[in-house]
Homo-oligomer: A and B are copies of this chain.
Amino acid sequence: MIRTAVVGASGYSGAELVGLLAAHPRASVAAVVGAGSAGRRWEALYPGRAHLFRGEISAWDPGALAGLDVVFLALPHGESAVAAASLVGSVGVIIDLSGDLRLADSATYRAWYGREHPAPELLGRAVYGLPELFGDDLPGAGLVACPGCYPTAVQLAAGPALRLPAAGTAVTASAVSGTSGAGRSSDPALSFSEMYGDARAYRVGRHQHVPEMAAGLERYAGRRVRLTFVPHLIPIERGILATIVVPLDEPVSQHEVLEHYRAAFAGSPFVRVLDPEERLPAVRGVAGSNRCDLAPVVDAAGGSLVVVSAIDNLVKGAAGQAVQVMNRVLGFPETEGLPGGEEAT
């Protein structure tokens, strides 16, 4: 049993991680850390999960984590890189769920996050933890930047498309997200009374994950990509549904595209490629699981390829992905301790 800690264990992603790790057959939770809730019982914050884990939340103290096998950082961006910097060298593996370590340079960070990077010496040192596209980077890594909800949903949908020779350069991605993506919030705009019955666009053209997604897609496809990304908030608690559209410069058959996607994810136990004639992705098809459902559709009239993907933002878009990354880094079976990964027989 490896020993792990979750820093930021009182937030939604952190709490999801605690639950997954507590039930993981090869891991134990040695510490749950939370600055604002230190001294409180974790199970008092999450009474619905008291059967999964019980323990007191510790204050942030990097020394107390020294020697642990894996430390997960489920902190807001800005805070996360600082925490990572103080842990490098003293713990086995650091898996960061924030956006802090996902970009290559501090100028891009400054431009899109609107602040100086808090630990620029770490930039470029972290492996990007998207197992389905870049899984070969993971075994033995010591510092992993784990992509979150939009980057995961968009890159899994668009990546294979951009490897099609017929695909154009301009990718449009429109996504709807549940409110848990914003974290535990006291913003009245995210109150039940304000979100109920609403659907909103936000941060159009300036969401901080745009350069990360574009860079990931360019690396995976090996060519230039121009990404327009429009996020929306809808009144569900968890889940992301992303729809990407890529123009097709020449006709491609639906059959060919479907086979292309199936081949791309043949070794990925958490991606389910759906035949759109039978079923299209839906949030309820993936809620609570670490799976990404996706379906490519050739739109002949529009001259484009549409790919729809669905994930649970707190699992495949956060905590589950982090555990999957841990499994790959440490050489555990990829699906260990994760719901939704093995098709039952």
Contact = CB atoms under 8 A, between A and B. Distances in A.
Interface of A: 12, 22, 43-44, 47-48, 50-54, 170, 172, 174, 176, 178-180, 182, 184-188, 190-202, 204-205, 210-211, 214, 226-230, 232, 234-239, 241, 243, 245, 247, 272, 276, 278-289, 291, 293, 295, 297-304, 306, 308, 310, 339-345
A201 B184 CA distance: 22
Nearest to A211: B301
Number of copies: 4
10 contacts: A47-B285, A48-B284, A54-B343, A185-B188, A187-B191, A196-B235, A196-B237, A197-B284, A204-B308, A230-B245
Contacts of A44: 278-279
Given A48-B285, A52-B344, A241 B302 contact: no
B232 A243 contact: yes
A295 B202 CA distance: 11
B341 A279 contact: no
Nearest to A197: B236
Contacts of A205: 297-302, 306
A186 B238 CA distance: 20
A221 to B, nearest CB: 16
B191 A227 contact: no
B239 A199 contact: yes
Given A204-B308, A205-B298, A229-B302, A199 B234 contact: yes
A179 B192 contact: yes
Given A170-B247, A200-B281, 19 more contacts: A12-B193, A44-B279, A48-B284, A48-B287, A48-B289, A51-B341, A54-B343, A172-B304, A179-B191, A179-B192, A186-B186, A197-B237, A198-B282, A202-B280, A204-B295, A205-B306, A210-B301, A226-B302, A230-B243
Contacts of A179: 191-193, 196
Contacts of A343: 50-51, 54
A343 to B, nearest CB: 6
Contacts of A293: 47
Nearest to A225: B302
